[in-house]
Amino acid sequence: MPSSPLEIHVQNTKRVLFIDHDEPIFNNRTAHSYVPSTYAGTKQPKFLPEPILAGSAFDETVACGLFPNSPMLPPKNLRTERLKDKRFDYFKTWSGKFEKQLSHLRGKPPETGPDANSPRKVEVETLHVDRYFDALEGPELDTLRASEEILLPEDERWPFLLRFPISSFGICLGVSSQVIMWKNLATSASTKFLHVSLDVNLILWYIAVALVAIVFIIYMLKVIFYFEAVRREYYHPIRINFFFAPWIALLFLAIGVPPSVAQNLHAALWYILMTPIFCLELKIYGQWMSGGQRRLSKVANPSNHLSIVGNFVGALLGASMGLKEGPIFFFAVGLAHYTVLFVTLYQRLPTNETVPKELHPVFFLFVAAPSVASMAWAKIQGSFDYGSRIAFFIALFLYFSLAVRLNFFRGFRFSLAWWGYTFPMTGAATATIKYSNEVPNIVTKSLSVILCVISTLTVTLLLGTTILHAFVLRDLFPNDIAIAISDKRQKTSRKWFHRRTVSSDKDIENYLKFAVSDSNDIEASLAPPSSITNTSIQNSGTAGTHSNQSPSGPTP
Amino acid sequence: MEDEITPHPIKITINQDPDQNDKHCSSILTRLHAGYFRITLSLGAQALLWKTLVEHTHESLALQRVLRTLPSTVILLLWWLSLFTQLTLSLLYLLRCVRHFRMVKAEFSHYVGVNYLFAPWISWLLLLQSAPSVVPKIISYRIIWVFILPVVVLDVKIYGQWFTTEKRLLSIFANPTSQISVIGNLAGAWAAAEMGWRESAVCMFTLGATHYLVVLITLYQRLSGSCRIPARLRPVYFLFVAAPSMGSLAWNSISGSFDTSCKMLFFFSLFLFTSLFIVNKECTTIVAWWAYSFPVSFLALASAEYAQQVKGVVAPGLMLVLSVLSILVFLCLMMFTAFNTNLLFRENDPNFNKSLGNTIH
């Protein structure tokens, strides 16, 4: 039995240096909004200060998550409640504020020097886009690779806001495009024979408005409370495209507004809605061309169509409002970038890691851009002329080539993003209605009816699946793995260890504090302080064996 | 004496620079490269812009108030200055071809240098277009072919190599300066349309547009095997702005009015300009700075044509903003170069004079 506390430090050193990679982050981020005052008096000096203790709780749980047979598993009661909250502090927006207030509790002031430096460095560090490719796989880049670990525990249910991805705006897209389709069905000359009433459009519009409002509010809450998660979604190669989805949904709502609600919308609305789209695409297209990480040959994927479609939808709305130059502007920009994207996706370059290898519903986004472009061009020119027809036929061809391969769309996990993939089908149906207005014959009319029926059926099916997942299976919002990936791979942790050994003593001492409390905070909550030394000794043995398999963390 | 084995006489010859007199001239010739024609390109574009603006002020009252300060003598002066600069540079480059043909060949095989070989011809075309009424139209009519023909010859050589041989693999060697070849075609189309030759104009325009599509897509993709342009070369990215602007001007001349296709090209160019504006800009040499001027001038020219077509507030306002910007950039560059003429040729540009340097000027 070690006779002095120092020896315990030494024994736990190895373990600490492997586990506490995230320490700089969590040490300071998880500023531990609640410092357990109960521990203040009972701690032996080596277990001070509380923030480190609490921060190590994170590592504790991470370690627990990895080593389920570890004797350190906490009994699940009030201690777990506190653990849970602190784990997600990294993603919380305001946890950083407490860091400064509580930094004095770290103990010796000189320590805060190097300590304060590293977290600041880590705070501004953003995940390199390569990291997403390394850690995730799957057509929507949301499945974790086997060799990766994540920052949050996989077996726990995360807070709802953390599980609410931006791709939920896909529902808004799907429903609001239905609004437009039913409006066209009711008002077009070629579909008058169906006698569709405008009430359908009205009801759907109100439903869509409500849905958009709800999703907007929830996501706003996420922005307010979990800004870090939103930031990580922004840097995700696929999720970035869904940042266009809210604005496109609003544009759809404006296009599909029932005549009984508003006849002529004010032009200012168009400018308001197009501004965020314009800013976003300045950023993204600029990155394609000259920015560092997101080279198109690497990140091009079918979801990029969402960033292009916004241009065409805006052009459509602007032209229907009577604007002249603005719609042409956005049409030109959209067309140019669409050509580039289209060719790149068709090439399926070997360097392209994001194009799904198998067919996936995301491929339906291919149909979106040409169908909306054809409608937009028809509105700009005033009639469905050759330009529109060319675009429309391209859309039809892509639709058919995907439809005949329908049996390959199998075996995919349902996700809310699938709603977003229905709007191309609805868009194609609407474009067919417009085309049949221009060229009214039995073929075009029946085609438009068939496509509308398919689109409605798909949406109904999706609705059923959504309800099933929401209320029966209760996994509509699974843990959003994609935003919780760690900064560095596992194997680099060994390099970090070697580097760490030559770092300042202060750092090591700091980590030692982590280590000791790390192994003990579970028991510490239950056992009196006098027994802490005993438990730490017992645990150090197991800790030693686990040290080689510790999770990865960011290298300082 | 002869019985002994005498070692071979060792001859030591010292190769000296034969002409010590024109060593200074020679060093200029070695340092000159086709990229210097960016200066004349900018001068010509600027002269054309001023001429166009003055022409438009006669039609628009609003502009007259603002642009009355541009007297015609200044425009004439600028034109003569550009002509003089162009003649000097052309002469020097001719001398370089004669004396250092090896270096010119090296330029031709360099994946950036080859594109700048279009620059002299574009400058001449711009000069002819901006010629004041002093120069009779007949002369322009005849000699314009002298300048379009080399563009076509270079086209056949270079574009042909793109898709037939492996000498200039586009996926590896495509870089923003490749757009200069496209601009050459479009400038030829514009000049031909101005002269009234519709078919040749459409032909040149098609050449330019097709290859522009290919180059644009390749550049946007930024394939991983491609030669990377270092971050220092931001001015070269402004060529993205120049090409569609020139295209819109060319189609404007061909079709007679600034129709929807012209507008789309102009808007695309405007969008690229806006997104590039945000990018950090650094330059290494003075000549590189001149690469900023002519794309902005082209954009301003296109906006002038646009404002002619579309009345209202936004279009003339845009024209004003872009023209003022272009003039400001040009004046700053003129002053900077005037104060630092010693740097103009003193800077040894290793990137251009080495045959296969990877870094680009």
Encode pLDDT of A370-380 as tens digits.
999 999 999 99
Is A101 within a domain? no
- The answer on pLDDT for A313 being more than 90 is yes
Please tell me the distance in Å from B274's CA to the nearest CA on chain A: 8
For B234, the closest chain A residue by CA position comes to A290
How far apart CA A55 and CA A513 sit, in angstroms, is 11
Domain housing B330: 31-58+71-343
Per DSSP, helices labelled H in A439-554 are 442-467, 492-501, 505-526, 532-546
For A333, the closest chain B residue by CA position comes to B268
| Partner B contacted by A339 (CB < 8 A) | yes
Instruction: Please name the residues between 98 and 157 in chain B that touch chain A, using a CB distance below 8 Å.
Output: none
Is B158 within a domain? yes
Is B15 within a domain? no
- The answer on pLDDT for A556 being more than 70 is no
**Parallel, antiparallel or unpaired: strands A143-144 and A136-137:** antiparallel
- Tell me the average confidence (pLDDT) per consecutive run of 10 residues in chain B, 361 residues long: 61 61 66 85 90 75 59 84 91 89 86 87 90 73 85 86 74 83 93 87 90 88 63 72 94 91 93 77 66 89 89 85 89 85 61 39 39
Which H or E element spans position B77? Answer: helix B72-99
Per the listing, tokens 């586990």 go with A19
- The answer on pLDDT for A248 being more than 90 is yes
- Residues A12 and A519 sit within 8 Å (Cβ to Cβ): yes
Burial (Cβ within 10 Å: 0-12, 13-18, ≥19) of residue A291? middle
- Residues B151 and B198 sit within 8 Å (Cβ to Cβ): no
Domain count across chain B: 1
How far apart CA B123 and CA B128 sit, in angstroms, is 9
Q: Please state whether the predicted TM-score (pTM) of the whole model is above 0.90.
A: no
Q: How confident is residue A74, by pLDDT bands cut at 50, 70 and 90?
A: very low
How far apart CA B252 and CA B244 sit, in angstroms, is 12
- The answer on pLDDT for A345 being more than 70 is yes
Q: Of A281, A268, A280, which is closest to residue A318 (Cα–Cα)?
A: A268
Is A301 within a domain? yes
Which residues does residue A136 pair with via DSSP β-bridges, in sequence order? A144
CA distances from A221 to A213, A216, B71 (A): 12, 9, 60
What is the model's pLDDT at position A368? 92
- The answer on pLDDT for A46 being more than 60 is no
Chain A contact set for B263 (CB, 8 A):
325, 328, 332
How far apart CA A342 and CA B5 sit, in angstroms, is 81
How far apart CA B151 and CA B160 sit, in angstroms, is 13
Chain B contact set for A351 (CB, 8 A):
223-224
- Over range A525-530, report the average pLDDT: 46
Please report, for chain B, how many H helices and E strands are present, in that order. 18, 0
What is the model's pLDDT at position A529? 47
Is A259 within a domain? yes
Q: What are phi and psi of A143, to 5 degrees?
A: -105, 135
Is A119 within a domain? no
Q: What are phi and psi of A21, to 5 degrees?
A: -65, -35
Domain count across chain A: 1
How far apart CA A287 and CA B222 sit, in angstroms, is 11
Is A506 within a domain? no
Q: What are phi and psi of A137, to 5 degrees?
A: -145, 180
- The first and second tokens of residue B223, run together, are 């394939």
Best of A290, A323, A344 to disrupt the B interface (most B CBs within 10 Å) is: A290
What is the model's pLDDT at position A532? 43
Domain housing A444: 160-483
Q: What angle do CA B67, B71, B76 make, to 5 degrees?
A: 125
- pLDDT tens for residues A382-423? 999 888 999 999 999 889 888 887 776 666 778 777 887 889
Specify the CATH number for the domain of residue B169. 1.50.10.150
Is B357 within a domain? no
Is B6 within a domain? no
Residue of higher predicted confidence among B135 and A143 = A143
How far apart CA B174 and CA B326 sit, in angstroms, is 28
Is B355 within a domain? no
Best of B266, B267, B309 to disrupt the A interface (most A CBs within 10 Å) is: B267
Choose the closest CB to A285 out of B222, B224, B275: B275
- Ranges A29-43, A155-169, B180-194, B266-280: which has the least confidence: A29-43
Q: How confident is residue A181, by pLDDT bands cut at 50, 70 and 90?
A: very high
- Residues A5 and A532 sit within 8 Å (Cβ to Cβ): no
Is B353 within a domain? no
Q: How confident is residue A10, by pLDDT bands cut at 50, 70 and 90?
A: very low
| Contact assignment for B213 to A339 by CB distance below 8 Å | yes
Which residues does residue A228 pair with via DSSP β-bridges, in sequence order? none
What is the model's pLDDT at position A247? 95
* Reported ipTM exceeds the 0.85 cut: no
What is the model's pLDDT at position A108? 42
How far apart CA A427 and CA B77 sit, in angstroms, is 58
How far apart CA A439 and CA A384 sit, in angstroms, is 9
| Partner A contacted by B240 (CB < 8 A) | yes
Q: Of B241, B221, B122, which is closest to residue B175 (Cα–Cα)?
A: B221
Q: Of B105, B18, B78, B111, which is closest to residue B351 (Cα–Cα)?
A: B111
| Contact assignment for A333 to B271 by CB distance below 8 Å | yes
Best of A278, A301, A325, A331 to disrupt the B interface (most B CBs within 10 Å) is: A325
Q: What are phi and psi of A422, to 5 degrees?
A: -85, -20
How far apart CA A169 and CA A208 sit, in angstroms, is 11
Specify the CATH number for the domain of residue A178. 1.50.10.150
For A329, the closest chain B residue by CA position comes to B267
- The answer on pLDDT for A64 being more than 60 is no
Q: How confident is residue A11, by pLDDT bands cut at 50, 70 and 90?
A: very low
For B307, the closest chain A residue by CA position comes to A325
Q: What angle do CA A63, A66, A67 make, to 5 degrees?
A: 85
- Over range A149-176, report the average pLDDT: 84
- The answer on pLDDT for A84 being more than 90 is no
DSSP A139: T
Contacts of residue A516, defined as CB under 8 A and 6 or more positions apart, other chains included, come to: A8, A9, A12, A46, A47, A536
What is the model's pLDDT at position A232? 86
Is B9 within a domain? no
What is the model's pLDDT at position B130? 87
| Contact assignment for A332 to B265 by CB distance below 8 Å | yes
Is B243 within a domain? yes
